[in-house]
Amino acid sequence: MSYTTLSAVGRPIVTLLVLLAAWWLATWISGVPSYLLPTPQSVAVALWTQRDLLMWSTVTTLTETVLGLLVGTVLGSFCALAIVFSPLMQRWLMPLLLLSQAIPVFALAPLLVLWFGFGIASKVVMAVLVIFFPVTASFSDGLRRTDVGWLDLARTMNASPASMLRHVRLPAALPAFGSGLRVATAIAPIGAVVGEWVGASAGLGYVMLNANARIQTDVMFAALFVLAMMAILLWVLVDRVLRRVLFWAPDTTAALA
């Protein structure tokens, strides 16, 4: 294993150990009651004793998150294309996009549960609402900022508008689309968990809500830890896929290090 690989793996582990040590010192020195701030040991015990519940809850939340991410990405991409290439659609869609971000998701969650039920549908819709705008905004911005020289070259080759879109505008917009997709992946679990807080019978948000009502702070921290790990792993997976797909647009900041 190379030094670079060891360094990339070792830094997160060292950071996690430092945070755990600071957490343990805070609980030991301050003497805060365990129902306000549990110790790392009690959370680790909760992770083990509640492993079956947390595992199935993670599957539920992950399913809601992935479905919301897929649906939101597809809808956001089509919306970006419509906004860029149709002035009429831009006049109609842009106010709706801005309105969807102006209203807090917490305010919409009860309505979505009322309309779509306590099942997975309301959580998927909530995740879609959270990620829809980042994907649409980044992709539409990338489509608008295609290099003029590339477009002129395509015109000199008598390329049709459809060919210019497929071979010039879309490839040029993919890096911006990738940035929006990374942001969407990081915030997609928020929509699913908010939906579970409002009304659900499964999921990590449901576990946290019940644990909070029963003052089981260690279980709540355990569910929060699993949720954070799930979100990080999902983001890393999407980032790795994007790096392979967009191999022709490498990260050049490494040369500055």
**pLDDT bracket for residue 234 (50, 70, 90):** very high
Structure tokens belonging to residue 71: 């649906």
**Residue 88: C-alpha distances to residues 82, 85, 132 (Å):** 9, 9, 20
Would you state the pLDDT for residue 6? 47
This prediction has a pTM of 0.84
Distance between CA 204 and CA 226 in Å, rounded? 8
The pLDDT, as a whole number, for residue 83 is 85
Whether the Cβ atoms of residue 64 and residue 123 lie closer than 8 Å to each other: yes
Tens of pLDDT, residue by residue over 6-58, are: 455 566 677 777 887 887 888 888 777 877 888 888 888 999 999 899 999 99
pLDDT at 7: 53
At residue 11, the pLDDT reads: 67
Summarised one tens digit per residue, pLDDT across range 65-110 is 999 999 999 999 998 888 888 777 777 877 777 777 777 777 788 8
Report pLDDT digits (tens) over 143-172.
888 777 777 777 888 777 777 777 788 888
- The domain spans of the chain are 39-248
Segment 108-134 shows an average pLDDT of 85
**How much of the chain exceeds pLDDT 70, in percent?**
92
pLDDT at 8: 52
- CA–CA separation, 73 vs 128, rounded Å? 8
Higher pLDDT, 244 or 160: 244
Q: Does residue 3 carry a pLDDT above 60? A: no
Count of alpha carbons within 13 Å of 130, Cβ hemisphere only?
30
Q: 3-state SS of the chain?
A: CCHHHHHHHHHHHHHHHHHHHHHHHHHHHHCCCCCCCCCHHHHHHHHHHCHHHHHHHHHHHHHHHHHHHHHHHHHHHHHHHHHHHCHHHHHHHHHHHHHHHHCCHHHHHHHHHHHHCCCHHHHHHHHHHHHHHHHHHHHHHHHHCCCHHHHHHHHHCCCCHHHHHHHHHHHHHHHHHHHHHHHHHHHHHHHHHHHHHHCCCCCHHHHHHHHHHCCCHHHHHHHHHHHHHHHHHHHHHHHHHHHHHCCCCCCHHHHHC
The reported pLDDT for the residue numbered 223 is: 94
What is the rounded CA–CA span in Å between residue 178 and residue 138? 8
- Tell whether the model's pLDDT for residue 256 goes beyond 60: no
| 222 contacts 54 by C-beta, under 8 angstroms | yes
Average pLDDT (164-191) is 87
**Is domain 39-248 annotated with CATH 3.40.50.2000?**
no
